[in-house]
Homo-oligomer: A and B are copies of this chain.
Amino acid sequence: MPSYQPPLRDMQFLLHEVFEVTQEFQAMPRHAEVDADTINAVLEEAGRFATEVVLPLNASGDEEGCRLDRDTHEVATPGGFKQAYARYVEGGWPALSCDPEYGGQGLPMVLNQCLYEMLNSANQAWAMYPGLSHGAYEALHTYGTEAQKQLYLPKLTSGEWTGTMCLTEAHCGTDLGLLRTRAEPQADGSFKLTGNKIFISAGEHDLAENIVHLVLARLPDAPAGSKGISLFVVPKFLVNEDGSLGARNPIFCGGLEHKMGIHGNATAQLNLDGAVGTLVGEPNKGLAAMFVMMNAARLGVGNQSLGLTEIAFQNALAYAKDRLQMRSLSGTKAKDKPADPIIVHPDVRRMLLTAKAYAEGGRALSTFCCVLIDKELHHPDEKVRKDSAELVALLTPVVKAFLTDNGLAATVLSQQVYGGHGYIREWGMEQFVRDARINMIYEGTNGIQALDLLGRKVLGNQGASLKKFGKLVARLVEEEGVNEKMAEFINPIATLGEQMTKFTTEIGFKGMQNPDEVGAASVDYLRVAGHLVFGYLFARMAQVALRQIAAGNSDPFYLGKLQTARFYFAKLFPETATLMRTARAGSRVLMDSDAALA
């Protein structure tokens, strides 16, 4: 059974030493009081909760799965899930970064991200129950009427109720313009919704007394396509004005999916049969509201793979130190033992260091991004808010796709370290792979993320957002350009930064002639962008580590950080050489293939 050590040291390193968050917070009235002690205490408690309460339910939840009672339409989650959730609510965790106006603790988003990384390491399937609530919370907080906010936000904040996002239908996932669920206006201003949704994560369960579904549907007079979609809030139980629960709303679970992984989470088919809802935001503007939920969810999905990468790495590392097999190629290392531990083998170290670099790069990126979100939300300077929002928008598809592709690679390599034992369920490594696989698919496949990045976020504003990020890279290059010790970390990103500008312009020009050129380059482009971001963040981490070492700090953490950064630049970053070449191969080789794909 896998074990887990919350990566508190690395989180603290990022928060306090690399991003100096308390200094950032001091500029924000909402967070000015948040000091390092508070942060560390929250992280420590969160790590304890994840490890002690949630982790022990991961394998059993996978084995047991969820059960639908077809008579009552109720879903039973795996043993222990309900009790763990009750403790989560009791501990006040759902409220951590919610608005104090609705009972939240008002702590920075970046702390919530750390909490969720640890919950995801411990049990992704379980973490999705509270996790999905955040999307619903965000959408209502941004677009809800005052009455909707008063009715729903306090209960979502406390965690007494959970939320869902009901988008997908059997015939449409990516292409929401095709959706068919109808919403009929009623005399009292409410709507009755009828249709069928599928793939609704945490769509029905027994953890909370009510479920707040955010549902995309069409009004009777709605224009065709994505401009005719509206967003509705549809509670499982109707809510009286005093907040008490009323009648059961006819939004019923018609089936649960049998999936490759995340068995502990109920992936529901939901049938709406005249279910009562109220409109969120303006009619036919549902997609905009949906994107508020979706962007939060996309960052959350990247964070899921970060969590899996970390726990897979930790266990593979422990196994590699323990498992005796063969002798080192360069001479016996453990003379007193019948064989050397497999960590002496260079390729085992390559596998471990790959997972570690992906975990640490991913954590740096998620943290960086969430600090930007805190600024976007609470910085007093409008320009800072706007710039931060722009960078978050740029980085969101990178977090979602790069971290989840890396997450599959890292969990597969960590499983590989175990040899045959990695394929056996009891060791728990294969579950990480199965769970990690969904993260590349849901909340917009990674192919869609790549189109979002290159088509919308980069070329959509003539590279303006990318230039903003480029300036951060340039500033670091300038700062450290004459520091010989930083050269190994600075030179690669300085070069890639320049190549990237040219590369982007090139694709932009080709795309104007033929839009398929954008689609043909997008996936490779996203990975190059991912490495530019990772490279920048590894250079910043190395910068801090080198300064500490120069100052005489002998904590081996800093040397370890340098070693990981060196590995990253030597063995992972060079992937960009191939990616730029294959991206440049253009669309013809893909599109002129009708005979091959006959």
A interface list, Cβ under 8 A from B: 168, 171-175, 178, 198-199, 257-261, 317, 320, 324-326, 328-330, 338-339, 343, 345-353, 356, 408, 412, 415-416, 419-420, 422-426, 430, 433-434, 437-438, 440-442, 445-447, 450-451, 455, 514-516, 518-520, 522-523, 556-557, 559-561, 563-564, 566-567, 570-571, 574-578, 581-582, 585, 587, 589-598
A178: contacting residue among B174, B338, B564, CB under 8 A: B338
A556 adjacent to B420 (CB under 8 Å): no
Contact indicator A518/B560 (Cβ below 8 Å): no
22 contacts between A and B (CB under 8 A): A168-B420, A175-B324, A175-B326, A178-B339, A198-B420, A257-B424, A260-B423, A260-B425, A329-B515, A345-B447, A346-B520, A347-B519, A347-B520, A408-B412, A423-B442, A434-B434, A563-B596, A567-B596, A574-B578, A574-B585, A576-B578, A577-B578
B563 near A595 with CB under 8 A, answer yes
* A349 touching B416, Cβ below 8 Å: no
Q: Is B575 a contact of A590 with CB atoms below 8 Å?
A: no
> A258–B519 contact, CB under 8 A?
no
The interface centre, meaning the residue of A325, A343, A518, A589 with most chain B CB atoms within 10 A of its CB, is A589
Contact of A589 among B329, B437, B566 (CB under 8 A): B566
Q: Hey, which chain B residues are within 8 Å of A445, CB to CB?
A: 416, 419
The reply to whether A349 and B258 contact each other, CB–CB distance below 8 Å, is: no
A591: chain B residues at CB < 8 Å are 346, 349
Which chain B positions have C-beta within 8 A of A514? 330
Identical subunits present? 2
Residues of B within 8 A of A346 (CB): 516, 519-520, 587, 590-591
- Which residue among A258, A260, A518 has the maximum number of chain B CB atoms within 10 Å of its CB? A260
CA distance A438 to B519 in the complex (A): 33
Partner pick for A416 among B447, B576, B596, CB 8 A cutoff: B447
B349 touching A590, Cβ below 8 Å = yes
- Given A423-B260, A425-B258, A560-B598, A325–B173 Cβ distance below 8 Å? yes
| Secondary structure type dominating chain A contacts | helix
Whether A438 touches B423, Cβ cut-off 8 Å, given contacts A593-B563, A593-B567, is yes
CB-contact partner of A353 in B415, B442, B560, B597, under 8 A: B597
Give the docked Cα–Cα distance between A261 and B423 (Å): 8
Report the bound CA distance from A570 to B584 in whole Å.
Answer: 9
Is there contact, CB below 8 Å, between B570 and A585? yes
List chain B residues, Cβ under 8 A from A350. Answer: 520, 523, 590
Q: Please give, as numbers and ranges, the residues of chain B lying within 8 Å of A590 by CB-CB distance.
A: 346, 349-350, 353, 567, 571
Chain B residues lying within 8 Å of A578, measured Cβ to Cβ, are 574-578
Give min CB distance, A408 to chain B, whole Å.
7
Specify which of B324, B451, B592 is in contact with A171 (CB 8 Å cutoff).
B324
A-B CB proximity, top 5 nearest = A560-B595, A346-B519, A260-B430, A329-B515, A346-B520
Contact B419 A353 (CB under 8 A): no
Q: A422-B441, A564-B596, A585-B570 are in contact. Are A260 and B434 (CB under 8 A)?
A: yes
B420 and A441 contacting across the interface, CB-CB below 8 Å: yes
Smallest beta-carbon distance A176→chain B, Å = 10
Q: What are the residues of chain B within 8 A of A520 when measuring CB–CB?
A: 346-347, 350
Question: Nearest chain B CB to A518's CB is how many angstroms away?
Answer: 7
Cα–Cα, bound, A12→B567 (Å)? 46
The 8 Å CB contact of A175, one of B175, B339, B352, is B339
Contacts of A451 in B (CB 8 A): 347
Q: Determine the residue in chain B with the shortest Cβ distance to A174.
A: B325
**Cβ contacts under 8 Å, A349 to chain B:** 590-591, 593, 597
Whole-angstrom CA separation of A246 from B594 in the bound complex: 61
- Could you say which residues of chain B place their CB within 8 Å of the CB of A575? 578
A419 to B448 Cα, complex, angstroms: 10
Question: In the complex, what's the smallest C-beta–C-beta distance from A532 to chain B, in angstroms?
Answer: 16
Cα–Cα, bound, A104→B523 (Å) = 51
Complex contact A442–B416 (CB within 8 A): no
**Least CB distance, A592 to chain B, in whole angstroms:** 6
Contact residues in B for A198 (Cβ distance below 8 Å)? 420
Whether B593 and A353, one on each chain, are in contact in the complex, defined by CB atoms closer than 8 angstroms, is: yes
Chain B residues near A564 (CB-CB < 8 A): 593, 596
- On whether A570 and B582 interact (CB within 8 A), knowing A175-B326, A347-B522, A350-B523, the answer reads yes
- Nearest-neighbour CB distance to chain B for A527, whole angstroms, equals 11
Min CB distance A346 to B, Å, is 4
Chain B residues positioned under 8 Å from A260 (CB to CB): 423-425, 430, 433-434
Closest Cβ neighbor of A589 among chain B residues: B570
A473 to chain B, nearest CB (A): 21
Q: Give the shortest distance, in Å, between A256 (CB) and chain B (any CB).
A: 11
Known: A329-B518, A353-B590, A585-B571. A556 touches B447 (CB 8 A): no
Query: Which residue of B is nearest A567, CB measured?
Result: B589
A557 and B595 CA atoms in complex are apart in Å by: 7
